[in-house]
Structure 1
Amino acid sequence: MDLDKTPDGPRTPERFEPGEGCLTTAIRIPVRIVVLVLVVPVRLVWDLLAVGARAVHRSVLRPLGRGIAVACSWVYETLLAPVGRALAVALVWLGKALFVWPWVALWRYVLAPVGRYGLVVPVVWLYESVLTPIGHGIAFVCSWVYETLLTPTGHVLGAVLVFLGKALFVWPWVALWRYVLVPVVRYGLVVPVGWLYRTVLTPIGHGTVWLLTGIGKGIALAAVGVWTALVWLVVTLLVTPVSWFYRAVLTPVGREIVDAIGVAWRIAGQISRAIGRGLRWLAWVLVGQPAGWFYRAACTPVGHAVRDYVWAPAKKAAVETGRAVRSALRSAGQTVRQARRDAWRALVGSPRPAEPVEASLDGARTLGSTTTVPGAVPAPEISLRKQV
């Protein structure tokens, strides 16, 4: 194996990929051979299924789908749409007849008149004619009583009640809070508790915190040491060998297997196409060429002979016969129409020619008047409405 020398040392061979070694080179060709042997039948079956699926789709499924679509469209437009429209109209009419028109009639002709003339009109009359005058009178009396009697008495009574309320419910409790409870609580509870907290509890708490902090630091250092040792052991005994095995063995093997599957799939495709071309050539040689030769050598001359000596004369004779039949039918129709006209003329007689009628220029009465207008066109004696 020739290596290109560089100032830094030997360089990796060009046919090697970065990171490849002897193991990759050793397993590449056997893996590709085995994978090719396994993939070729799968590719052949795949190509066969693909060709069959395309043929079935083109020959069966697509025409069947178009036929189903046309049939469904015809059924919808011919049957379902008219029936649906008729059913919708019937359901709408039935729904209105059952749930709309009865309630509308009940509201319009029963509830609205009864509520209006049986409740609203009497209540409005009672409010305007009875309750409003009574309310105005009661309001006037109450206003007079409040302004004349209750306002002065209320001022005096309010001042007396405020004084009694303060004397009974405010001033005793204020004095009790200010001169009894506040001094007792301040000098009997707050001051001793504050002195006890500052002098005794604070130093004890500081010492306890310092001791617990030292113990925690020692435990943390011990835990960090144990964790570091466990991590080193796991990395040295487990992670490093597994990582080396993954990089040195599994990665090259997996990459080679994937590459081998891709190469084998492409080679199998070429083999499948070659087999397909061979089968197509064989079918053409065994079936296509004989069928084409038979069509050109036998069917075409026979078809031309039938077209020139059988079909063309028969078509020409049929056309001439049709023209003769149409001419005979046309002549017969004209004869029948002439005979019918002659028979009618013999029974009824010839129609008289129309004679021109000159308009009279005599004066005539106009409608609605008893006088005559010289030179006016004579008007009919009855109205146009009666003439119609």
Structure 2
Amino acid sequence: MELPQQPPPGQPEGCLTVAIRIPVRIIVLVLVVPVRMIWDVLAAAARALHRTVLRPAGRALKWLGHTLVVVPLAFLGHCLSWLLRTLVVTPLAWLWRWLVVPVWRYGVVAPVVWLYRYVLTPVGHGLAWAAAGVGAGLAWVATGVGAGLARVATGAWVGLAWVGAGLGLGLAWAARGIGMVVSAIGTALVRVGLVLFVVPVEWFYRRVLTPIGHAVAVVAREVAAAFGHAWRIAGHLSRAVGRGLKWLGWQLVGRPVRWVWRTVCAPVLHWVRDTVWAPVKRAAVEAGRVAGAALGAAGRTAREALAAARDTVRQARAETWRALVGGPPREPPPHPARTLGSTTTASGAVPAPEISLHKSEG
């Protein structure tokens, strides 16, 4: 347990602080150590789970989401954008430029401008001239009527002003008297409230609540400090226990497993790799190479056979058509097995006949 920190010289501790510090720290330490150890175990398990399971799973899900969702959606978005631009935007732009704008400009704007310039403007000027004349007449009439009403209102206002001045003076004297009475009553009530409520409440706050608050604050501060010290001590104990368990696990499990792997499993696996797997791999590679060569040769033979069959069918069809319809005979094409100026024949090819078509027909 860490030693309690000494307070500054200018702030001496009270007897209450010294009396409750050690018991509180002991009790809190006993309660916090199991909680801290459980917390450290859970934190280590969570880190291991995140490192071995959640992070690879998150990367796999990210790759799957990008491959199965983002890429198809991006391709679909590009396709839809191209279709929208080709089928909607371009035709609408063409219609707007070559149909809507000319129709609006020459079918609506031009007639409206002509109507405004040659019809509405003259009519508006005429109406404005007529309204100006009528307004001048009404203004002359209103000036005369306003002058009469102003004289009447001036006389009435002077009379009302004299009456209001008298009433206001009387109300001011009455309000002053009422204010003095109310002020005296309020002063008396304030003094009574101060004596009956404020002084007892202040005494109760100063003599009762303030000492209790100081005591509660001291207890709370010491409990919080005890929790901090106990949490740090429990962390040291938890790390020590963890190191001990790690050493014990290595001695009981890790070291024997490593010895078995180095002395038994590794030599056996090396022997299997060198004496079994390597020959099997080489044999499989050779067999695959031979099978590939055989398949290639079979494919070439099948292609040559199919080409010969197609040539035979073509020649037979031509001879049949010539026998039915008639026509000059034609020389057969040179056989692919013979070359000009050479007697060498391809392997597996049938030599071409030496007798011409004329001699055969004769």
TM bin, normalised by shorter chain, reads 0.5 to 0.7
**1:350 partnered with 2:341:** yes
Question: Once the two structures are superposed, what CA deviation does each residue of 1:110-161 show, in whole Å capped at 9, x if it has no partner?
Answer: x949x76x9979x98x9xxxx99xxx9xxxxx9xxxxxxxxxxxxxxxxxxx
Question: Once the two structures are superposed, what CA deviation does each residue of 1:20-77 show, in whole Å capped at 9, x if it has no partner?
Answer: 3222222212211221222122212211111111111111111011111111222246
**Number of the residue aligned with 2:39:** 46
What CA distance in whole angstroms lies between the structure 2 residues aligned with 1:201 and 1:120? 71
**Number of the residue aligned with 1:294:** 260
Aligned partner of 1:235 among 191, 199, 202: 202
What CA distance in whole angstroms lies between the structure 1 residues aligned with 2:87 and 2:259? 74
Whether the 8 Å CA contact 1:20–1:252 is kept in 2: the answer is: no
Structure 2 counterparts to residues 235-314 of structure 1, below 5 A: 235-247=202-214, 249-307=215-273, 309=275, 314=279
Offset at residue 277 of structure 1 (A): 1.3
Look up the equivalent residue of 1:283 and give its one-letter code.
G
Aligned to 1:349, the other structure's residue is in SS state: coil
What CA distance in whole angstroms lies between the structure 1 residues aligned with 2:150 and 2:272? 136
Offset at residue 80 of structure 1 (A): 2.9
Question: Does the C-alpha gap of structure 1 residues 285 and 186 become closer, same or farther in structure 2, counting only changes over 3 Å?
Answer: closer
What CA distance in whole angstroms lies between the structure 1 residues aligned with 2:70 and 2:244? 51
Look up the equivalent residue of 1:30 and give its one-letter code.
P
Aligned to 2:338, the other structure's residue is in SS state: helix
Question: Does the C-alpha gap of structure 1 residues 347 and 49 become closer, same or farther in structure 2, counting only changes over 3 Å?
Answer: same
Structure 2 counterparts to residues 1-388 of structure 1, below 5 A: 15=6, 18=11, 20-76=13-69, 79-95=72-88, 100=92, 107=99, 112=103, 189=159, 193=163, 197=166, 202=169, 204=170, 207-229=173-195, 230-247=197-214, 249-307=215-273, 309=275, 314=279, 347-350=338-341
What CA distance in whole angstroms lies between the structure 1 residues aligned with 2:161 and 2:340? 152
Query: After TM superposition, which residue ranges in structure 1, 4 or more long, deviate above 6 angstroms?
Result: 118-121, 168-178, 343-346
Look up the equivalent residue of 1:20 and give its one-letter code.
E
The TM-score normalised by the length of structure 2 is 0.58
Offset at residue 90 of structure 1 (A): 3.4
Look up the equivalent residue of 1:54 and give its one-letter code.
R
Would you say how many aligned residue pairs link Structure 1 and Structure 2? 279
Offset at residue 262 of structure 1 (A): 0.5
Question: Does the C-alpha gap of structure 1 residues 105 and 216 become closer, same or farther in structure 2, counting only changes over 3 Å?
Answer: closer
Higher Rg of the two aligned structures: 1
RMSD: 5.2
| Bigger RCO of structures 1 and 2 (CA < 8 A, at least 6 apart) | 2
The gaps in structure 1 that reach 5 residues or longer are: 1-13, 137-141, 143-161, 337-342, 352-388
Aligned to 1:347, the other structure's residue is in SS state: coil
The gaps in structure 2 that reach 5 residues or longer are: 127-136, 302-333, 343-362
